[in-house]
Chain A
Amino acid sequence: MSLPDHELLELNALCNALADGAITATERARLEKMLAASDDARRFYVRAMALSASLFDYAGEMQADAPDLPARRIGRVPAWAWTAGSLAAAACVALAFWLGGVEKRDAASAVARAEQEGSDDSVARLSGARECRWSGAALQPGAELQPGQRIELQSGFAEITFDSGAQVTLEGPASLELGSAWDAVLHRGTLKASVPPEAIGFRISNPSVEVVDLGTEFSMVADASGATEVFVLKGAVEAHARDAAGNHLGSVVLAEKQARRFTVAGGSDVPDRDAKLAKLNRKFALDRYTRPANFVHWSFDEEAGPALAQTTGPADADFSAQLEPAGEARSAGTRTAGRWQRALLLDGRTFARAPFPGIGKRSARTVAFWINVPADAPLPDAGAMFAWSGAQGRATEIGWNRHPLDGALGTLRTAAGRNALVGSTPLRDGRWHHVAVVFSPKTKADGPVKIRQYVDGRLDGLSARRNGKRGRGAPAAKEPASAPQDVLWIGRNLAGHETAAHCRGALDELFIADRALTPPEIRHLMTQNRPLAPETLAAE
């Protein structure tokens, strides 16, 4: 806690006054100011208020569990103790509202959209185009796009795939400014956005409206007068109208085939809606810029035995992994029920090594796999799921976070050299999670390697940056000069330390690709357990 003592005392007093309903207007303003200014203050506040929330819970339980207490103390069941009946009834009522159009309803979206990207990193790439003419510098196919970059398209169609998985097709003349992997500003022109469930919360804004996606396909047309028309082609969006000063005027949820016109004066119906919808719904093919990827895949489906053969991979190389420690009668118990057929069971001692020529080279790659970490896995069992030695003595390790200062414990953590990226989705819950870590080296020869993490298909790797700092260097990422090159370690940190940490859990369906996979490709691996064929990629 880095708040000075006097501020901490003050904050504590304010939280107490708030919890007991005794806070004055001046105190509330002071608390608001402190919370706005300091991350530490917010953390203290959230923990303090959560303590009160827990106390409500325990106090309620005490009552329910103590029927022999005096009658006045036997309280009603807390209003928020739901029963199956009331819940189903609630769902029906809500549906009636929805169908009757009585009540507009904001709905689920992602808080995570607020995550900020590091300014030096790309947040999207130009993934497809047709007959593009650019105002200003022409964009190259496959170009990485930076936050703040403005895409000025004179004519033609350009498809941009954001790191979050959202895809936007611009129709020229149009101007789009990228904010982050989760948002962009449409200055003028027409766009169509397709947002998979993993990218829910993606938003497009402009001066008159902000559209937050609820898992859908929508179009926006911004004309020169500042008016914007929003069309929902599939699913639903939440549109927040704004006035000229940027103040929030109100929100509306638009469902499939609905449309709304927004100006700084407010919303209205869209003239010729059906004709415009039909035009926006037309399909056309784009040229894509994705070269086929090469994969090495271990399914871990062998019934037993110390050898873990690759299921697919180059014909002229053997990537078979060997379970260790060798010679122990451990191999019988090293398989378990997997996400797809059998999985490799890591008991905190077992690990495997696979020959992998070139794994240490500074080149683009994607490591995708399923992992199931027991909910009670202790910190010492946070050994790497995968590790390898890199160029210039840099090591790479993928595992779960055990450093409280780097971020939430038990979330996905990728350490490469001195940098660590920590996610926010807890992995340590005894459930299967799909993980993909994408490495893309910067063009500068010795520049850092950009890392993106996806957990269950959703971009999950920005928390360490959001706090304005990269994670601390992984202590285990220091490797001895003698560390073997061209070896992929499965289930442990790099060798060389007297006690390399081992991983506990189950691993399944490891794919290593020789380029940065796109969010749709990662989603396909997750749902189909096989790479997305190039022809499918082009057809989608």
Chain B
Amino acid sequence: MTNDTDPPPDRASQLMRLITEHQRRIFGYIYTLVPDRHDAQDILQETSVVICEKFDQFRPGTDFAAWACQIAYWEVRRARQKFARSKVIFNQEVVDAIAETAAELLPEMGARHEALAKCLQKLHPRDRELLLTRYEPGSGVEEAAQRSGRSLVAAYKALARLRKLLLDCVTNQLSLEGAT
């Protein structure tokens, strides 16, 4: 631990660039371990603090997202100790197993995110609207149901159907791209 409060300016801008570039993947990683948007965001904030602290240990040229996700993993563990079961809903063994799988799949996540954009374009605008309303910051299933004029049950069903559709579409999209 050094006494310097901040990394030197070039390291600081490098840190900013890396974090901006990878925060979505880090969030995605945390969200698989702690599947609640707000809890995952809190842990992401905690993780960001540690990333800053530890940034002098990061070696340029190595995989930043993988390194950051290791930090996130420990923040998830810490969250469990601090908040008992409120944030981390799975037991530690399962969290560890998921973390391992998530780390393994990390390299493909960028491509999946990209492919999802294409798949969203293929949806009927009405379906896309429902889905994005549900995922908007501050929104939820209820609001999505209300705004689309569906019953709550119908909205849950529609969301489940759309997610499966998108999951399959992303997989197809990736295998198409892999084949070219």
Contact = CB atoms under 8 A, between A and B. Distances in A.
Interface string B11-38: 0100110011001100110011001110
A331 to B, nearest CB: 29
Classify chain A: how many residues form its interface, as a range.
35 or more
B10 interface: no
B52 A91 contact: yes
B1 interface: yes
A32 B90 contact: yes
Classify chain B: how many residues form its interface, as a range.
35 or more
B55 to A, nearest CB: 8
Nearest to A104: B78
Contacts of A35: 90, 94, 97-98
B53 A95 contact: yes
Contacts of A248: 92
A92 to B, nearest CB: 6
A411 B107 contact: yes
B173 interface: no
A425 B61 CA distance: 11
A51 B5 contact: no
Interface string B78-114: 1001000000011111101111111111011100110
A473 to B, nearest CB: 20
Contacts of A379: 178
Contacts of A98: 1, 53
A116 B75 CA distance: 23
B36 to A, nearest CB: 7
A298 interface: no
A10 to B, nearest CB: 12
Contact of B160 (A16, A105, A108, A409): A16
Contacts of A56: 27, 31, 37, 135, 137
A435 to B, nearest CB: 12
A22 B137 contact: no
Interface stretch (A125-133, A304-312, A355-363, A426-434): A426-434
B24 A57 contact: yes
B141 A53 contact: no
Contact of B132 (A15, A59, A200): A59
Contacts of B32: 45-46, 49-50, 53
Interface in A102-119: 105-112, 114
A240 to B, nearest CB: 9
Given A82-B19, A98-B1, A408-B108, A46 B54 contact: no
A107 B137 contact: no
Given A16-B163, A109-B74, A408-B104, A251 B16 contact: no
A54 B54 contact: no
Contacts of B167: 47-48, 51
A28 B89 contact: yes
Given A12-B164, A55-B132, A76-B138, A90 B52 contact: yes
A286 interface: no
A539 interface: no
B137 A58 contact: no
A399 B62 CA distance: 18
Contacts of A106: 74-75, 77-78
Interface stretch (A36-44, A174-182, A260-268, A439-447): A36-44
A245 to B, nearest CB: 15
A13 B167 CA distance: 13
Contacts of B57: 108, 197, 200, 215
A90 B1 contact: no
Contacts of B36: 21
A463 B62 CA distance: 18
B48 A87 contact: yes
Top 9 nearest A-B pairs (CB, nearest first) are A91-B52, A59-B135, A53-B28, A16-B160, A42-B101, A94-B49, A108-B71, A55-B135, A75-B137
Interface of B: 1, 5-6, 12, 15-16, 19-20, 23-24, 27-28, 31-32, 35-37, 40-41, 44-45, 48-50, 52-54, 57, 59, 61-63, 66-67, 69-71, 73-75, 77-78, 81, 89-94, 96-105, 107-109, 112-113, 116-117, 120, 131-141, 156, 159-160, 163-164, 166-167, 170, 178, 180
Given A32-B90, A58-B117, A92-B5, 14 more contacts: A16-B160, A21-B140, A46-B32, A50-B105, A50-B109, A52-B35, A55-B132, A56-B31, A58-B135, A90-B48, A107-B50, A108-B71, A425-B63, A429-B63
